[in-house]
Chains A and B, each alone.
Chain A
Amino acid sequence: MLVGPSGCGKTTAMRMVNRMIDITDGDILLDGESVKDRRPAELRRQIGYAIQQIGLFPHLTIADNIGTVPKLLGWDKQRISTRVDELLELVSLDPSETRDRYPAQLSGGQRQRVGVARALAVDPPLMLMDEPFGAIDPINRERLQNEFLRLQKDIRKTIVFVTHDIDEAIKMGDKIAVLQKGGKLAQFANPAELLMNPASKFVEEFVGADRALKRLALQRVKDIDLWKVAQVRVGEMSADARRKVEDADLKSHVLVVDDRGRPHGWLAVNELGSERVPDGAHPGGEVEMDDILRDALADLLTAEARYGAVVDGKGVVQGALSIEVISRFLHEAPTDSRSGADLVEDPAA
């Protein structure tokens, strides 16, 4: 992920990888081999290339556009045709409807997908993407980003991705290189580290004043240590309930659950009564294990609750999330939350 303001050299850095711009000093190694030792055209055919302006060839059908590099490499017609259909499906386009059309007949979002499909045509191990979602409206951009993240889970490519949008970098990247004007590397870190410990005033400003909130977007409820909460049932002995509170992290309240372990509501410890746990728990916020922390916090704030019951996919209580838990998480040292596919080579490093 290369990110930085315009004119910082992020595109230049990317274009040096496939020798669209020649390297004057230093080197870039791909699989241990210097790109300077490879013939440019041959090198480029093995590196996927997608740019913001897409650059589809207006005079070729979608199928011919995608098949450009396979054709250069001498694939036979049948193999190219099969691959084209496969790729169109991969980027969620209907092959029978799309393949014989011309670029001008597609919408911007569809063209963008074709651009990505074309870059993937010969299954290159490395891809270069220069603001591939830059020219698309925010709603479609978000959708394409999510689609691409899902796609990337399957194809596991090493991608050098250029963007000026820090949110996109944080969302899409495993490792982020923040570049400063003049091509200076301001910081190279994973997203959490970047948000937690900006290396300089510049990085701090670039990631924005809401960087704490952005960190919340990186992690899910299940990634952090939840509070243990006393789970009680209506009619249970109050004394048993009080004993459970001793073991729990949350001392002031108990969570009333139903027979299947689903949350019912909260009771203050002093409302437990002397005999048995009474009915009449106060409803509170509820979040799911798979929610991202930012959404979970929003739910808690909406419910005006300090605690939220955390449930799994079946609705069974797994613990409690509190605003304190979230705020403690924000002050912890960042952990490698993303299973980062290590960049083999980073041009900016």
Chain B
Amino acid sequence: MSPTDAVGLFAQLQTRDRTGEANCVSEDGFCPDWIADNWQRYQDPFVEHVVLTLVSVAAGFLIAFVLALIAHRRQWLIGPITAFTGALYTIPSVAFFFLLQPFTGLGKTTAIVALTCYTLLIIFRNVTTGLQAVPAEAKDAARGMGLTENQLLARVELPLAAPEILAGLRIATTTTVGLAALAFLAGAGGLGAELDQQPYFKSNVVVAGGLCVLLAAVLDVMILAVQRFTTPWQRASAS
């Protein structure tokens, strides 16, 4: 929405008489007045959505990262872990929630467990390929200079794999924002719950859906900023 649109919209809000609003709503239309009156009902679902996303991605990152580090020292584990996280990734979310219910019941935990599982494949794969892409000669030089395996990891391998790792994090985050819209099926609320309540009401769909897109975009830009900040050498190489 461009600034001029916003100003126009605001002007409409001021001048329109409220009967127009009632008509618009009854026709399931796109009603700026209704949005202005009702935006507060999206506040809690939005916060739920953010929490679901952040907690799931953080947990997923932690697990996948540790798995990738373990597999980095024992390369034979990469295949099995990729297969396992890949299998998790293919389970339809509705089925996943249903399968989890006997253990975690209905609510946030179920949703978070499922969402976390969905991030594993992407993050594990990107951390692993990032570490594998570290130039062999840099590793050889590092070992030859007397870096221990842990120092090699911390000072050479992880910094060099950072762009790939953060790229994985971006994809995982965006995906999770989208998947969290289904978390209401597990009773975890979120913007999906709002969508589900009035799926044919355009104003509702635009606001709830728009907030999802906005959240995904903002998180993506934030990670991108981190990536640029932590890898100044990448821009230097390009110049």
Q: Which of A54, A69, A72 contacts B137 (CB 8 A)?
A: A54
Kindly state whether residue A322 has any CB partner on chain B within 8 Å.
no
Report B153-194 CB contacts with A as 1/0, cut-off 8 Å. 001100110100000000000000000000000000000000
Closest A residue to B163 using CB positions: A59
Partner of A45, one of B138, B146, B156, B233: B146
**A231 interface hit (Cβ, 8 Å):** no
Q: A42-B146, A59-B233 are in contact. Are A105 and B137 (CB under 8 A)?
A: no
Complex Cα–Cα for A46 and B145 (A): 8
Total chain B interface residues with beta-carbon distance under 8 A: 24
Residues from chain A with Cβ under 8 Å of B142 in the complex: 55, 57, 68
**Do A51 and B144 touch across chains, with their CB atoms under 8 A apart?**
yes
In chain B, what residue has the closest Cβ to A52? Answer: B137
Indicate if the CB atoms of A49 and B145 lie closer than 8 Å.
yes
- Determine if A102 and B233 form an interchain contact, defined as CB atoms under 8 angstroms apart: yes
Give complex CA distance A68, B152 in Å. 11
Cross-chain contact B146 with A72 (CB below 8 angstroms): yes
Q: What separation, in Å, do the CA atoms of A13 and B138 have in the docked complex?
A: 21
In the complex, are the beta carbons of A58 and B138 less than 8 A apart? yes
Q: Does B38 contact A (CB under 8 A)?
A: no
Within 8 Å by CB of A58, from B140, B233, B239, lies B233
| Inter-subunit contact B145/A45 (CB<8 Å) | yes
* B236 in contact (CB, < 8 A): yes
Is A162 part of the contact surface with B, judged by Cβ < 8 Å? no
B143 within 8 A of partner (CB) = yes
The answer to whether B141 has its CB under 8 Å from any CB of chain A is yes
Chain A interface residue bracket vs B: 20 to 34
CB distance from A128 to the nearest CB of B (A): 7
Instruction: Give the contacting residue for A49; candidates B144, B151, B159, B231; CB below 8 A.
Output: B144
Secondary structure at the B interface, as helix, strand, loop or mixed, is helix
A43 contacts B by Cβ under 8 Å: yes
Kindly list chain B residues whose C-beta atoms are within 8 Å of the C-beta of A45: 145-146
A18 to B135, CA, bound (A): 21
B239 contact set on A, CB distance < 8 A: 105
Question: A60 in the interface, Cβ–Cβ < 8 Å?
Answer: yes
Q: How far is the CB of A282 from chain B (nearest CB, A)?
A: 60
* A104 contacts B by Cβ under 8 Å: yes
Complex CA gap A46/B144 in Å reads 10
Write the nearest CB–CB distance from B214 to chain A, whole angstroms: 33
Nearest opposing residue in chain A for B140, CB measure = A55
Cα–Cα distance between A18 and B231 once the two chains are bound (Å): 32
Chain A residues closer than 8 Å to B231, beta-carbon distance: 59
A240 to B: closest C-beta gap in Å: 69
**Is the CB–CB distance between A105 and B156 below 8 Å?**
no
Please determine whether B145 and A68 come into contact, CB atoms closer than 8 angstroms.
yes
User: Is A44 interfacial (CB 8 A cutoff)?
Assistant: yes
Assess the B143–A105 pair: CB atoms within 8 A. no
Give chain B residues whose Cβ lies under 8 Å from the Cβ of A128: 144
Q: Of residues 44 to 78 in A, which have CB atoms within 8 Å of B's CB atoms? A: 44-46, 49, 51, 53-60, 68-69, 72
User: Which residues from chain A contact B69 at a C-beta distance below 8 Å?
Assistant: none
Whole-angstrom distance between the Cβ of A317 and the nearest chain B Cβ: 53
Which 4 A-B pairs have CB atoms at the shortest separation, nearest pair first?
Answer: A55-B141, A45-B146, A53-B137, A44-B146
Between A and B, 17 residue pairs with Cβ closer than 8 Å are: A20-B143, A41-B146, A41-B148, A42-B146, A44-B145, A45-B145, A55-B135, A55-B139, A57-B156, A58-B135, A59-B159, A59-B162, A68-B147, A72-B145, A102-B236, A105-B237, A105-B239
**Beyond A53-B140, A55-B137, A57-B141, 7 extra complex contacts between A and B, CB < 8 Å:** A20-B140, A44-B144, A57-B156, A58-B138, A59-B231, A69-B145, A72-B147
